[in-house]
Amino acid sequence: MEGTERYNALRPYLAARFGCEVRKICIDGGFTCPNRDGRVGYGGCIFCGGRGAGEHIDPAKSIREQVETTLATPRRRPTRYIAYFQNFTNTYAPVYILRERYDAALTGDPRICALAIGTRPDCLGDDVLCLLSSYRERLPVICELGLQTASDTTAERINRGYKTSVFVSAVRRLAAEGIEPVVHLIAGLPGEGETEFLDTVRLINTLPVAGVKLHSLYIMEGTRLADIYRAGGFSPIGEEKYVACAAHAIAALRSDIIIHRLTGDCPAGLLVAPEWNADKSRIIEKIRRKLTEENITQGCRA
């Protein structure tokens, strides 16, 4: 087998599930984060930028305008869309505000086929879960959580702001409500190597996780990690090491979990290091080649 046949890739999975090509509409919902405003901490995770991801989104546009701009883009073939609230913590507000903002994204256009919410596991109270579950009557609901690592020691080092036990509980509660948990995992965190990365994958295997996003730790301008790097306190993971980590994570990952991405890419003009992270296509191709060379299929070492 070659290429995506060796792992459960997102694009073919979505095409099979919804009957056509599926794209994401990335949305800045105007939220902040409890790890920035003082409820949990200040400054956020050490690698997190000032926009909390989604730097390409125009914050001057309303939620409805963000969605309608994408829906109006001509496509050569039939396309459906996932409304994806990406920036910061998208369940960090009273429920009536969450409902207003989610409803603004779900315009009634039949091409919107799912709702995806990026958030923290410590911002999923029972009232929020009830709200998210209510949307399941209309369309699938996905909840993305930035675990990054199973190690509480590393979590303190990167200023994550919650214990892994909180994440474990959140995933189980989401799945019990029929909400699909997707988890972000980062290789190359300070103090971690491949062993620790695979330990995190093994935790994921024990939980009702629907999907994962694999990332290498890159250094973005304007982050505390950039300051640490420039002071000589951190060296990013090398390209070949990341390729090996990603391939071995696929081997260790439970075979039914959908892999949403194989690498993260820094917004244009903001990458401090490593330079190799800028070429996303090359990295993906090298990971696929590594899978073939080592005869790896997803879950073969789970």
102-127 confidence digits (pLDDT tens): 999 998 899 999 999 999 999 999 99
pLDDT of residue 126: 97
Token representation of residue 168: 């474990």
Say if CB 259 and CB 210 are below 8 A apart.
no
Q: Which residue has the higher pLDDT, 68 or 267?
A: 68
Give the integer Cα–Cα distance in Å for 134 and 131: 5
Does the predicted model carry a pTM greater than 0.85?
A: yes
What does the pLDDT average to over 223-235?
Answer: 96
Strand, helix or coil for residue 187: strand
Contact 83, 67 (CB under 8 A): yes
